[in-house]
Amino acid sequence: MKLRQSMAGLHTWGGLLPSWLLFVIIFAGTVACFDKELTRWMRPALHDGVVSSLGADDVRGWLQQNVSEELHAFWMHGPTEREPYWRLGWEVDATKTIHNVAFDPRSAQAEPMAETVGGEFFFKLHYNLHAGDIGMYIVGLAGMFMLVALVSGVIIHRRIFKDFFTLRPKANGQRAWLDAHNLFGVVGFPFHLVLAYTGVAIFVASYMPAAAQVSYSGNVMQYFGEVMGSFEREEVGQPPPAPVSLDALIVESQRQWGGGEAGWVSVHHPDDASAVVDVRRRDRSRIGSPQDTLSYDAGTGELLNRQDASTGYRAYLWLAGLHMAQFGGTLVRLLYLLMGLAGCAMLVGGLQVWLAKREQRGDASVVWVRALNASVFAGLPLASLALLWGNRLIPAGFAERAVAEGWVFAGAWLLVALWSVLRRQQGRRLLREQLLLGAVLALGLPIINALTSDGHLIASLGRGDWVLASVDLFLMVAGLVCAASAWRLNTTPAAAAARGRAARIQEA
Amino acid sequence: MLLLAFALAYLGMVLLCLTMNRHRGVLLRADARLPGATILRLLAAGCFGIALWQGIASQGGEIGTVVWFGLVMLSALLLVLLLAWRAHWVLPAVPVLALGGLLQGVS
C-alpha cells in the first residue's frame, strides 16, 4: 500500500503540473502528423498539384544569383509525393542565420513562393515550442515527466484489466472523468510510452551530453561525425573551381545505390576549394532508414566517402524513425493522429479528475485552474485555426509574412487566455462560446480557402485530390463537432441542473 | 486488407469483453450460452494473431507490427466508446467491419 500511496502523490502532482505543457506538445505533434499536407493547403501555389520540373542546378543557380554572402552550407530537397516542389535552405557563414525558401512548382524558372510558416510550425512547436535550445530542454523535461506519470499511473491503477472496457459517462463527474482518463491512458498505453520514450531519446545527446563532452574533450562535432560515419573536411581558404552539376551527382548516387531516391542534397562551405556535396538517400520503406549518404568533391565530382553508420546510430535512427512516423504512408500517420488525439483526451480527463475532486471539497481556487484549462485546451486549437485564417488573409506580398502568421497565432492565443481568465466564474458559458467560436473558425476556413485560391473543395474533389480535400473535410468535421457540442451544452441546462454538482464539475 | 485486420482486432476485443460479467449482461440476453472464459480468451488471441499476420503480410514485419499495435489500440477505443453510448451497435459492428474488410480486399 505504501508504494501505491506515494506513487499516487507522484502521479497527481508530477502529472498535473506539466500537463498543460504536455497538451501543447501532444496536440502540436498530432497536427504535425500531417504537416506536409497542411503546408500544401497553406500554399495556394501547390493547390493544383503540379510537380516541379526544376533541377538541383536551377535551385543552386537561384541561390548564386540572389544571395551574395559567404555561406557555411546550403541544402535542398527535390519534389516528393507529399511535397511536389523544391525546398532550399542556407546558413550564412558570418551571422550563422538560417534562411529557407520554397520554389513555385508551376514556374519553369526558380521562383520563390509567398512565405508561410507552413505545417512545420506545429512540428517546431512540438519539439521546441519555438524557443530554440531552451524550448528543446523544456520539452525533454516534460517528456520525462510524462514517462514518470505513465509508469506511476500503471502502479496506482488497481483494476487495470477489470476496468479495461469500462466507461460510465452517466456516473458522477469524478467517476466518469476517471474512467475516461483510464481508458485513454490504458488503451493507448503502448503508444504513449513508446512515443514519450522515443521523443526523449531523439535529443538524448543534448540532454545528456557529459559522456561525449569528456570522451572527445569538448569536441562534440567529432563525436557526431564518428557516430554517424559522416564525412567532413577542413576549409583550405582557396577559391573553389567551377562546381560540377548537382543533378549529375544525384543520378550518379542513384546508380551507386542501384536505384532508390535522393533526399537531401547539401553542400558544405560552397565558397571554398574544399566544398563537399552530400547526397542522402531517401527511403520510406523502413522505420529507421539508414542515412546512406554519399559525399563528393564539389569541384571534381570524385566520390570521397560512403557513409557507414555505426550499429548504435542505426538503433538511434530506428527509435527516432518510430517517433517521426515517416514510414508506412498515410495509414501510419492516420493511426498516429488518432492515438495522439487519445493522448490529448487522456490529459484533459486527468485534469478533470483533479478538478472534480477539489470541487467536491468546495475549494474556491479551482476556478483559476479552470481558467488555465480553458486557456490551453481551448486556446491552442483556436489559435491554430486563427493561424490558418491568418495564412489566408495576409496578402501574398506582405513583408515577413511568416512572422506575421506567427503573431496571429500568438495574439489569438493570448486573447483566448485573457477571455478565459475574465470569464472564469462562468465556465459552462465560456466553454459553449469557445466551442461556437471554434465552429465558426473551422467552418469558415474551407469557405475562405475557396474565396482566396483555386484549390477549393469542389475543385480538389473533382480532381480526385484527396490529400488537399482532406484538410478542408477535416476542418468541416471539426467545426460540425464543435457546433454539435455547443448545441448540446445549450440544450441540457435543465438536465444539468437536476444533476446538480456533478454537471458543474463536468463542464470545464 | 487492413480493415479486415481491424475487424479481427475488434472481434478479439469483443470476445475479451464478453468474458466479463459486467459487460456480458449489457451485450447479450441473460439466457445466451457462450463458451467458457478461457476459450473466449484463446479465440481472442487467435483473432489478434491473424490480424498481426495480416499486418505483416501487407506491410512487412517492422511496419506491419507498428500498424497492428495501432489497430488493436483503436479497436479497443471504438469498442469502449460504443459500449458507453451505443451498446446495441457493438455486436452488429463485427459483421459490418468484416464485410467492409472483405470488400476492401476484393477491390
| Domains of chain A by start residue, with CATH | 239-308 (3.10.450), 364-508 (no CATH)
The C-alpha torsion from A376 through A477 and A488 to B27, rounded to 10°, is -110
Q: Alpha helix (H) ranges present in A325-360?
A: 329-360
Task: Supply the range of the domain harboring residue B71.
Answer: 2-106
SS3 call for A152: helix
A104 pLDDT above the threshold of 90: yes
**Across the interface, do A165 and B59 touch by the CB < 8 Å criterion?**
no
pLDDT confidence tier of residue A266, bands split at 50, 70 and 90? very high
**Across the interface, do B77 and A188 touch by the CB < 8 Å criterion?**
yes
At residue A493, the pLDDT reads 54
At residue A343, the pLDDT reads 97
Chain centroid offset of residue A129 CA: 10
Q: What is the pLDDT of residues B37-56, one digit of tens each?
A: 899 999 999 999 999 999 99
A497 pLDDT above the threshold of 60: no
Q: What is the pLDDT of residues A34-66, one digit of tens each?
A: 999 999 999 998 988 889 989 999 999 999 999
**Across the interface, do A332 and B22 touch by the CB < 8 Å criterion?**
no
- For chain B, the residues whose C-beta falls within 8 A of a C-beta of chain A are 2, 13, 16-17, 20, 22-23, 59-60, 62-63, 66-67, 69-71, 73-74, 76-77, 79-81, 83-85
Lowest mean pLDDT among A209-223, A320-334, B3-17, B59-73: A209-223
Closest-CA distance, B80 to chain A, in angstroms, reads 5
Question: Average pLDDT for residues A115-125, to the nearest whole number?
Answer: 94
A238 and chain B in contact, CB less than 8 A: no
pLDDT confidence tier of residue A412, bands split at 50, 70 and 90? very high
Chain B environment of A168 (Cβ under 8 Å): 84
At residue A501, the pLDDT reads 42
At residue A508, the pLDDT reads 37
Of the candidates A312, A209, A223, A225, the one whose C-alpha atom is nearest the C-alpha of residue A268 is A225
Question: Average pLDDT for residues A89-109, to the nearest whole number?
Answer: 91
Question: Average pLDDT for residues A248-275, to the nearest whole number?
Answer: 92
Paired residues of A99 in beta bridges: A90
Which strand ranges, in their side-by-side order, compose the sheet holding A293-297? A98-102, A87-92, A71-77, A261-268, A276-282, A293-297, A303-306
Chain A environment of B70 (Cβ under 8 Å): 191, 332, 335-336, 338-339
Looking at every residue in chain A, the average pLDDT score rounds to: 90
pLDDT digit of tens for each residue in chain B (107 aa)? Answer: 689 999 999 999 999 999 998 898 888 887 788 888 899 999 999 999 999 999 999 988 899 999 999 999 999 999 999 999 999 999 999 999 999 989 987 87
What cell numbers appear for A250 in the block? 544525384
Q: Rounded distance, CA A113 to CA A103, Å?
A: 5
Chain B environment of A183 (Cβ under 8 Å): 77, 80
A159 and chain B in contact, CB less than 8 A: no
pLDDT confidence tier of residue A489, bands split at 50, 70 and 90? confident
Q: What is the pLDDT of residues A121-172, one digit of tens each?
A: 999 999 999 999 999 999 999 999 999 999 999 999 988 888 899 999 888 8
Q: Rounded distance, CA A376 to CA B90, Å?
A: 34
pLDDT confidence tier of residue A499, bands split at 50, 70 and 90? very low
Query: Which among A287, A327, A338 is the nearest to B74, CB-wise?
Result: A338
Report how far apart, in Å, the C-alpha atoms of A91 and of each of A74, A140, A195, A240 are.
6, 26, 31, 18
pLDDT confidence tier of residue A380, bands split at 50, 70 and 90? very high
Question: Average pLDDT for residues A237-263, to the nearest whole number?
Answer: 91
Q: Rounded distance, CA A354 to CA A337, Å?
A: 26
Closest-CA distance, B48 to chain A, in angstroms, reads 15
At residue A427, the pLDDT reads 85
Looking at every residue in chain B, the average pLDDT score rounds to: 92
Residue type, A308: D
At residue A129, the pLDDT reads 94
Of the candidates A320, A276, A319, A275, the one whose C-alpha atom is nearest the C-alpha of residue A294 is A276
Q: What is the pLDDT of residues A462-481, one digit of tens each?
A: 888 888 999 999 999 999 99
At residue A222, the pLDDT reads 84
Chain B environment of A287 (Cβ under 8 Å): 62-63, 66
Closest-CA distance, A185 to chain B, in angstroms, reads 11
At residue A506, the pLDDT reads 41
Query: Which among A169, A184, A327 is the nearest to B85, CB-wise?
Result: A169
Chain B environment of A193 (Cβ under 8 Å): none
The C-alpha torsion from A280 through A284 and A285 to A290, rounded to 10°, is 30
Chain B environment of A184 (Cβ under 8 Å): 77
Q: Which residue has the higher pLDDT, A494 or A153?
A: A153
**Across the interface, do B80 and A335 touch by the CB < 8 Å criterion?**
no
**Across the interface, do A339 and B74 touch by the CB < 8 Å criterion?**
yes
Chain A interface mutation, best of B10, B66, B67, highest count of A Cβ atoms under 10 Å:
B66
Closest-CA distance, A299 to chain B, in angstroms, reads 41
Q: How many domains does chain B have?
A: 1
Q: What is the pLDDT of residues A441-458, one digit of tens each?
A: 999 999 999 998 877 888
Name the phi and psi angles at A30, rounded to 5. Answer: -65, -45
pLDDT > 90 fraction of chain A, expressed in percent and rounded: 64
Query: Which among A162, A167, A287 is the nearest to B62, CB-wise?
Result: A287
Residue A331: closest C-alpha in chain B:
B67
Query: Which among A165, A285, A322 is the nearest to B79, CB-wise?
Result: A165
